[in-house]
Amino acid sequence: MQYEDLIVEVHGKVALIRLNRPKALNALNDNMMNELGEALAAFDKDAQIGCIVLTGSEKAFAAGADIVAMKDYTYQDTYRDNYITRNWEHILKVRKPVIGAVAGYALGGGCELAMMCDFLIAADTAKFGQPEIKIGVTPGAGATQRLPRTIGKSKAMDLLLTARTIDAVEAERIGIVSRVVPADQLIAQALEAADTIAAMPLSVAMMIKDAVNRAFETTLTEGVNYERRLFHAAFGTPAQREGMSAFIEKRLPKFEGL
Ligand code: CO8
pLDDT beneath 70: ranges in the chain: none
What DSSP designation does 237 have? S
User: How many Å lie between the centroid of ligand 1 and the Cα of residue 92?
Assistant: 24
Is-contact 88 64, C-beta < 8 A?
Answer: no
Helix axes 153-162, 143-151, angle to 10 degrees: 140
3-state class percentages of the chain: helix first, strand second, coil last, to nearest 5: 50, 15, 35
Q: Is any ligand 1 atom within 6 A of the Cβ of residue 5?
A: no
Helix (H, G, I), strand (E, B) or coil at 211: helix
Is-contact 63 107, C-beta < 8 A?
Answer: yes
pLDDT confidence of residue 225: 98
pLDDT confidence of residue 203: 96
Is-contact 32 91, C-beta < 8 A?
Answer: no
Is-contact 39 17, C-beta < 8 A?
Answer: yes
pLDDT confidence of residue 138: 97
User: How many Å lie between the centroid of ligand 1 and the Cα of residue 143?
Assistant: 17
pTM above 0.80, yes or no: yes
| Measured distance CA(141)–CA(82) in Å, rounded | 13
pLDDT confidence of residue 30: 94
Mark whether 112 is an active-site residue.
Answer: yes
Test site for ligand 1: of 25, 78, 85, 162, most ligand atoms within 8 A of the Cβ = 25
Cβ neighbours of residue 210 closer than 8 Å, sequence gap 6 or more: 95, 230
Residue bearing the CA closest to ligand 1, atom 2: 66
pLDDT confidence of residue 106: 98
pLDDT confidence of residue 77: 87
Question: 182-197 as b/e, with b when 16 or more CB fall inside 10 Å?
Answer: ebeebbebbbebbbeb
Predicted confidence (pLDDT) per residue in 200-232, tens digit: 999 999 999 999 999 999 999 999 999 999 999
